Amino acid sequence: MFVATLVASGALSQDNIAEAAGRLATAGCTPVDSKWLDEGKAADIFFGLDRIAARAALTGIGDRVDVIVQPVGGREKKLLIADMDSTMITVECIDELADYAGIKAQIAEITERAMRGELDFAGALHERVALLKGLADAAIDQCRAERVKIMPGARALVRTMKARGARTLLVSGGFTRFTGPVAEEIGFDAAVANVLEIADGALLGTVTVPIVDAARKRAELEAAIEGGIDRALTLAVGDGANDIPMIQGAGLGVAYHAKPKTREAAAAEIVHGDLSVLLYAQGIASAEWVGI
């Protein structure tokens, strides 16, 4: 049995649900039942066949409605592994840090190309960090305080999953000076990121190696699975090309307001809503959320 979870950024109507059930029937997916998770906001439709056909059939349903299709069994996850920049927070930290050096546009262009998968991630990271050489160490804390905003739904997602027994891990190609405070504020169990090298109160233009790249993100997922968490019970979410391996390796891999290559690679995506969509996807109604 499969479930299609519909989550509206605005209002979800009974007509939307009926249309979705009709599309599933036309696609041969055999809808059998539906129920509200939060009336007017989110609903589940249960069906018997063909997850891939169902996802295609439900594309474009309603006005600003996200749809997550997955097996019913194991939909509530025991591991969340998440990217940070433009996923758990609203900005790309290196771009904002570059603004304090007066070179935001230059670095942001490299970041965008790297996240789209047009540049080698490691090379792009070293190139951008080198451009920050000489920036005052104090600019990092100033940037974090002034620019970093938590993504809507992040606290509820992480804290609710933790309260229900899941492990939560923040894995970023960014920097520990940002991920540490962000992970603590949101409520993650642990965080992994790159370390900026600093001396005499200024950035040296380098990071410690090996860096946290796409392979390392996937490795963190695999380590958790080897530690005893069933792959089917894992959830990975990110927006960039360097998130693709961990998204593809998870039981439910989600592209969040993502770059085209990431969207194409993911089995599910969030286009309209915030991170709370991932709670509805697990069958958890808002009355059960923690930390909001």
| pLDDT score for 216 | 97
Catalytic residue chosen out of the listed positions 44, 83, 239, 274? 83
Task: Tell whether the model's pLDDT for residue 292 goes beyond 80.
Answer: no
Query: How many angstroms separate the CA atoms of 182 and 84, rounded?
Result: 8
Mean pLDDT of the region 157-163? 98
Q: Does the active-site annotation cover 141?
A: no
Residue 291 has pLDDT above 90, yes or no: no
**pLDDT for 277 beyond 80:** yes
What average pLDDT does range 107-112 have in this prediction?
Answer: 96
Average confidence score pLDDT of the chain: 96
Is 38 noted as a catalytic residue in this protein? Answer: no
Compute the half-sphere exposure of residue 197: CA atoms within 13 Å on the CB side of its CA. Answer: 12
Angle (nearest 5°) at CA 154 between 151 and 156: 140
Is residue 266 within 8 A of residue 279, CB to CB? The reply is no
Percent of the chain with pLDDT over 70: 100
Q: How many CA atoms lie within 13 A of 200 on its CB side?
A: 4
Could you read off the pLDDT of 51-108 as tens digits, one per residue?
999 999 999 998 899 999 999 999 999 999 999 999 999 999 999 999 999 999 999 9
Whether 131 has a pLDDT exceeding 90, the answer reads yes
| Class level of CATH domain 76-292 | alpha beta
Catalytic residue among 85, 239, 243, 274: 85
- State the DSSP string of 192-208: EEE-EEEETTEEEEEE-
Decide if pLDDT at 112 tops 90.
Answer: yes
Tell me the pLDDT tens digit for each residue of 257-268: 999 999 999 999
Give the pLDDT confidence of 220-244 residue by residue, as tens digits: 999 999 999 999 999 999 999 999 9
Cα separation, 263 vs 240, in Å, equals 9
Q: Where are the beta strands (DSSP E) in 72-195?
A: 79-82, 167-175, 190-194
Q: In the chain, where do the E strands start and end?
A: 2-8, 31-38, 42-47, 65-71, 79-82, 167-175, 190-194, 196-199, 202-207, 234-238, 252-256, 268-270
Residue 26, pLDDT score: 96
Q: What is the mean pLDDT of residues 197-208?
A: 98
Right CATH number for 1-73 from 3.90.1200.10, 3.10.20.600, 1.20.1740.10, 3.30.70.260? Answer: 3.30.70.260
Domain boundaries, the chain: 1-73, 76-292
